[in-house]
Structure 1
Amino acid sequence: MRRVVATAVVAAGLVLGSAGQAMAFSDSASVAIPGTGAVIQANAWNCNVYVDKCSFKTSSKGLKNGNAYTLDKVKNVATVIANGWQATISTSPSGTYVSEDTRKIAWTNTNSWISDISGIADPSGAFNTSVTTCSDASGFKSGSKAFASACANG
């Protein structure tokens, strides 16, 4: 009986331990595109547990009534920041250098409902504690435009 209970406790611990690593930080925000009934939505995700590198993902979406809505132009700018003392960062795909601890990556689609970016952040520093990923979304349709921003703070 003891052996069965001990096995169950160990198995539960393994399941709970694995679940923590699968979780991520995320944020989302939507802003109406005037005259369309649609919104531009910004989404940002990044890992909450990492040893060496951290995955990130951002997206900009045109949505109307919760469904995909094609825009003339949809742009996504991902900003990835290493937080910590003397923090530095590199990203894959490589991003535009903003500062030692910040990179920006941009992608624009035309006649589409989505623009997304995903990659790997490689932070380093004396006391690097977390990664922040932000998404700046912009959407354009028939002369109307809107902007939304979201940040996942790890």
Structure 2
Amino acid sequence: MKRALLTSGFVGMLLAGTAVPTVAISDSGSTKLPGTGATIEVNAWQCNVYSDKCSFKTSTKTKKRGAKYKVSKISNTATVKANGWQATLSLSPSGTQVSENTRQVSWTNQNSWIADISGIADPGGSMNTSITTCSDGGAFTSGVKAFASACAND
């Protein structure tokens, strides 16, 4: 798995504020879809610096030689967790509550090459709360299936 820290620029200075770098954390994973020559690519992205809420995005894609590869069924599950003492989490879209600090959102497409999810995480609890975003993906076609996962955390 690869982990990358992406810097996309600076937020302009406000009269009462200071410049804050805009950064994101990402991770990716991949596996072969047996007998097809295709690969499943799973990605997870989230903000790294936030004061209130944090955006996230996950995706599962199937590709063959760099091009989109349509499968019978492709799915993605985003698991977002707030880390920290007495951490809590609200999520948009709300998803399924796994625990007080963890939510899951799933999406499945038929006859497609991609399934993706994006939203906003709102962590609460202690002052030292951080977020972890995981992406679990799977694809099925012609009687074969494969799964991959990735987790982005700060």
User: Shared fold (TM-score greater than 0.5)?
Assistant: yes
User: Any residues of structure 2 matched to 1:17-28 within 5 Å, and which?
Assistant: 17-18=19-20, 20-21=21-22, 23-28=23-28
Cα displacement (A) at 1:13: 10
4+ runs of 1 displaced by more than 4 Å? 12-15
Maintained 8 Å contact 1:87/1:127? no
Distance 1:31 1:13, change over 3 A: closer
1-side partners of 2:135 and 2:88: how far apart? 20
Give the CA deviation at 1:95.
1.2
2:80 paired residue number: 80
Deviation at 1:14, TM superposition (A): 5.6
TM-score normalized with structure 1 length: 0.86
The alignment partner of 1:127 has SS state of coil
Give the Cα–Cα distance (whole angstroms) in 2 for the partners of residues 46 and 133 of structure 1: 7
Return the structure number with greater helix share: 1
Larger Rg: 1
Identity of aligned residues (%): 64
Alignment-mate amino acid for residue 78 of structure 2: A
Q: 1:13/1:139 Cα in 2 relative to 1: closer, same or farther (>3 Å)? A: closer
Question: Which structure: greater strand fraction?
Answer: 2
RMSD (Å) for aligned C-alpha atoms: 1.7
**Unaligned runs of at least 5 residues, structure 1:** 1-11
Write the letter of the residue equivalent to 1:153. Answer: N
1:147 and 2:142 are equivalent in the alignment: no
Give the conservation status (yes or no) of the 8 Å contact 1:44–1:57: yes
Tell me if the contact between 2:87 and 2:124 (Cα under 8 Å) persists in the aligned partners: yes
**Structure 2 residue ranges without an equivalent (≥5):** 1-9, 14-18
1:67 corresponds to: 67
Q: Is the 8 A contact 2:26 2:46 kept in 1?
A: yes
- 1:57 equivalenced with 2:57 (yes/no): yes
What is the correspondence of 1:1-150 to structure 2 with a 5 Å cutoff? 17-18=19-20, 20-21=21-22, 23-150=23-150
How far is the alpha carbon of 1:141 from its aligned partner?
A: 1.1
